[in-house]
Amino acid sequence: MGISSRMIPTEDASNRKREIEEKLRQEQETLSFIRENLEKSDQQTKGMVSILSSFESRLMQLENSIIPVHKQTENLQRLQENVDKTLSCMDHVISYYHVAKDTDRIIREGPTGRLDEYLACIAKIQKAVEYFQDNNPDSPELNTVKARFEKGKELLEAEFRSLLTRYSKPVPPILILDAISVDDELEVQEDVVLEHLPEAVLQDIICIAGWLVEYGRNQDFMNVYFQIRSNQLDRSIKGLKDHFRKNSASSGILYSPAVQTKRKDTPTKKAPKRPVYIPGYDHDLRVKHLTDALTEKHGAAAGKDDVLDIEIDSYIHCISAFVKLAQSEYALLAEIIPEHHQKKTFDSLIQEALDNLMLEGDNIVSAARRAIMRHDYSAVLTIFPILRHLKMNKSEFDSTLQGTAASTKNKLPTLITSMETIGAKALEEFADSIKNDPDKEYNMPKDGTVHELTSNAILFLQQLLDFHETAGAMLASQETSSSASSYTSEFNKRLLSTYICKVLGNLQLNLLSKSKVYEDSALSAIFLHNNYNYILKSLEKSELIQLVTVTQKKAESSYRELIEQQIQMYQRSWLKVTEHLTDRNMPVFQQGTKLKDKERQVIKDKFKGFNDGLEELCKIQKGWAIPDKEQRDFIRQAQRRVVSDTYRAFLHRCANISFTKNPEKYHKYRPEEVEEMIEKLFDTSA
């Protein structure tokens, strides 16, 4: 046991030693392997370094050989390019010397029909000019190409003028009328486009204008443009005027028959001639114009109403046409003329047509002024529709002329002011003429009917209804008070109402004065009654009463009182008839008592006085007139009732009195016959 124990440790140590030795051996082998590999690696490294060194040496040798060759090649290429450029420049320069010859035929033949080719030739010539100016200013070639360039420019200017002249035509009147007409039935109006030039021609003109501005350094073409277009604008308006007059006089066709829509007669709906109420006649509502009435007074001189209406409508159409045409001219001009020259050119373009319109307007004002001097106040009616149209279109007019000279923009306001001044003067003088119309006995109606002065005054005032806003503004334009500093519609309405009341007041005073011409107070009363009744009915049958009551609330009742007063005044004429039937001087008697001769004579005188008075009044008053049937019947019935009742009462009192042996000699008329006689009063046909 003891031996074995000692042997075990010895054996373990031996094994341990072997393991260590084995590991040591393995490590030594590994170390030897590493050393061998390191040696191989060193050898390979040395070989690679040697190869790289050799490669680097060879590259350096190659570079030293190639670089000189490359530089030589680069120099050769640069020399080649320089030669090419030099040759190209030489060709380019030589071409300038041939420009005049190459472009001669095209320039000579002009740009017509080949504008693009022509402009290309001009561009070549222009470049040649620039070249010689920069490089050889003393060369004869410069003068040649300069002359050729100027010739080319002249031909372009001539082509510009030629195209404009050849294709600029007046706008046909039918197209203008379609453009300015308004269709009541269409909610959205269809604009009529006015094409002044064919599209291809327009593009050529635009192209030439652009070239002349950019290269030609020439503004003369703008003068050519406005002169040609100005002439066409003026001719278009004159053509419309001629067409309008001719067709208005013949057929009344004022617009294109091809247009099927209903159009107004004028750009601003022409005021209809208002019906004039002449009470009591079947033709009470006959259409009658103031100048128609004046025709009766002045004869053929006033019978030019239709011609005058055509002139007025023609002028109104021409005003609207000018605005529409001017707008289309500006649209055309904006495509051709440079922007900073457009307003000035447009100003020049419209001058002739605008001046002609303003001159015509001035002539209308002058004609109205001369007519007013002759006391023909109907002439103011020519002013009203024109003035209304001018004021309605003033904003569009101003917009169209925006940017033009102040003198141009002020022409329309000046004309409007002139028309307002002469119109207001005519209104005032008309009112004065109503007041101062002389009381000529031969001019008084023998039958006491409506006086000519009354009918003319009412006709005149009724015509104002169609232009009440214009008339009110016209009167307001002459006001200098602070209240008139801002003319409102209500202020103008009150002014017109005041004016109408003034005319009516003057008319009433004059009628009262004229009525005194009659020797018979009853006829005087009938005359005033007829005139007052005519005035009242005319006011009621029109919108005049609304204007009058703006400042005179009780106008109607005042006229009714005046009419009633005249009826009562007339009825007094029958007192000299009915006074014979009263109890005054009537004898007092008892039944069965015999009358004395004096008493019988009193009764005879009463009968005779009544009969003679009745016959005389019926004979006289049968020739008087009360045109208003309603008034005529009312006055007859009232008088018939009064006379008949009085006569019946008188006959009743005398029924049982024996005052004559021949009662039929004095009792000539039965009450029914008296009524029939009175029923025939104011009836010249009876």
What pLDDT is attached to residue 612? 93
Average pLDDT over residues 102-109: 74
pLDDT at 106 over 50: yes
Beta bridge partners of 287: 275
Closest by CA position to 389, among listed 269, 243, 252, 487: 269
Task: List residues bridging with 471 in a β-sheet.
Answer: none
- pLDDT at site 271: 42
Q: Which long-range contacts (CB under 8 A, 24 or more apart) does 307-312 make?
A: 308/382, 310/244, 310/245, 310/248, 310/249, 311/245, 311/382, 312/382, 312/385, 312/386
Reported for 255-264, long-range contacts at CB under 8 A and 24+ positions apart, including other chains, are 255/174, 255/177, 255/178, 255/181, 256/174, 256/175, 256/177, 256/178, 258/174, 259/178, 259/181, 261/183, 261/185, 261/186, 262/183, 262/184, 262/185, 263/181, 263/182, 263/183, 264/181, 264/182, 264/184
Q: What is the mean pLDDT of residues 578-601?
A: 74
Per residue in 446-466, pLDDT tens? 999 999 999 999 999 998 888
Q: Which two tokens stand for residue 603?
A: 């009764």
Phi, psi of 622 (to 5 degrees): -65, -30
Q: What is residue 587's predicted lDDT score, i.e. its pLDDT? A: 63
Cβ atoms of 143 and 132 closer than 8 Å: no
Task: Give per-residue pLDDT as tens, 39-76.
Answer: 888 888 988 888 888 888 888 888 787 888 888 888 88
Nearest to 573 by CA among 611, 530, 523: 523
Q: At what angle do helices 555-571 and 489-515 cross, to 10 degrees?
A: 10
Q: 3-class SS at 543?
A: coil
Residue type, 279: P
Q: Which of 53-57, 290-294, 662-666 has the lowest mean pLDDT?
A: 290-294
Distance CA 133, CA 125 (A): 12
Mapping DSSP onto H, E and C, the string for 443-472 reads HCCCCCCCCHHHHHHHHHHHHHHCCHHHHH
Residue 406 has pLDDT above 60, yes or no: yes
Query: Contact at 8 Å (CB) between 416 and 469?
Result: no
Q: How far apart are the first and last CA of the chain?
A: 197
Model pLDDT, residue 135: 78
Q: Tell which wins on pLDDT, 599 or 297.
A: 599
Query: Can you read off the two tokens belonging to residue 1?
Result: 């046991």
Residue 86: what pLDDT? 63
Residue 393 in 3-state DSSP?
A: coil
CA nearest neighbour of 347 among 402, 270, 394: 402
Rounded mean pLDDT of 512-531?
95
Span 366-374, mean pLDDT? 90
Q: Which of 24-28, 86-90, 141-145 has the lowest mean pLDDT?
A: 86-90
- In this predicted structure, the answer to whether residue 188 has a pLDDT above a threshold of 60 is no
By CB neighbour count within 10 A (0-12 exposed, 13-18 middle, 19+ buried), where does 210 fall? middle
What ranges make up the beta strands (E) of 266-395? Answer: none
pLDDT at 249: 55
Structure tokens at 497: 């109402």
pLDDT for 507 beyond 90 = yes
| % of the chain beyond a pLDDT of 90 | 45
Whole-number Å distance between alpha carbons of 368 and 362? 10
Task: Specify the pLDDT at position 588.
Answer: 65
Q: With bands split at pLDDT 50, 70 and 90, how would you rate the model's confidence at 137? A: confident
Tokens 């360039």, residue located: 149
Q: What is the torsion angle, in degrees rounded to the nearest 10, for the CA atoms of residue 110, residue 115, residue 119 and residue 125?
A: -20
Instruction: Choose the weakest-confidence range: 75-84, 111-120, 352-361.
Output: 75-84
Of the listed ranges 417-426, 649-658, 675-684, the one predicted with least confidence: 649-658
Question: CA–CA separation, 483 vs 476, rounded Å?
Answer: 10
pLDDT at site 218: 72
pLDDT value of residue 3: 45
**Nearest of 522, 392, 388, 523 to residue 465 by alpha carbon:** 388
Q: Quick count: other Cβ atoms within 10 Å of Cβ 434?
A: 24
Residue of 575, 588, 576, 579 whose CA lies nearest to 653: 588
Burial of 139 (0-12, 13-18, 19+ CB in 10 A): middle
Full-model pTM: 0.71
pLDDT tens track for 215-225: 877 778 999 99
Two structure tokens written together for 568: 């009562």
DSSP character at residue 337: S
Quick one: pLDDT at residue 590?
58
Instruction: Report which DSSP code applies to 542.
Output: S
Q: How many CB atoms lie within 10 A of CB 511?
A: 24
- pLDDT in the model for residue 160: 92
**CA–CA separation, 642 and 578 (whole Å):** 9
Q: Are 216 and 153 in contact (CB under 8 A)?
A: yes
The rounded distance, in Å, linking the Cα atoms of 318 and 326 is 12
Instruction: Transcribe 33-101 into DSSP letters.
Output: HHHHHHHHHHHHHHHHHHHHHHHHHHHHHHHHHHHHHHHHHHHHHHHHHHHHHHHHHHHHHHHHHHHHH
Q: What gap in Å lies between CA 241 and CA 315, rounded to an integer?
A: 8
Above 50 in pLDDT, residue 184?
A: no
Round the average pLDDT of the chain to a whole number and report it: 82
Question: For residue 285, is pLDDT > 90?
Answer: no
pLDDT at 277: 38
Single out the residue of 474, 297, 457, 453 nearest to residue 385, CA to CA: 474
The predicted pLDDT at position 63 comes to 78
